[in-house]
Homo-oligomer: A and B are copies of this chain.
């Protein structure tokens, strides 16, 4: 009876055509932003790309930045700066040396 905390936001199930519809970007742009390491779709057996809702949100952010004239290199730097909250907390914990303590007898951890 476990409910996935990441919900469906990070499941890579959306094909590039739908991403185009949802973001308004061209296929060329979507693939190019992958080449520039801004997004990371997975591939299924046949090699076609699959995106998540998170990827789509990221692409919309990218599109906005690009409209402001920000280059892909700069966008990548900005995105790496904002580490996600969960990761931040994990990082802190590890630095505190409490990483092991936390997982010792608490196998069903609730991060929030």
Contacts and interface: CB of A to CB of B under 8 A. Distances in A.
Copies of this chain in its oligomeric complex: 2
Q: For the side of the interface on A, what is the size category?
A: 10 to 19
A21 B11 CA distance: 13
Interface in A26-57: 44, 50, 53
A34 B9 CA distance: 25
Interface of A: 7-9, 11, 13-15, 18, 21-22, 44, 50, 53
A14 B8 CA distance: 12
A69 B11 CA distance: 31
Given A8-B8, A13-B22, A15-B15, 14 more contacts: A7-B7, A7-B8, A7-B9, A8-B9, A8-B53, A11-B53, A13-B13, A13-B14, A13-B18, A14-B14, A15-B18, A18-B44, A18-B50, A21-B44
A28 B66 CA distance: 43
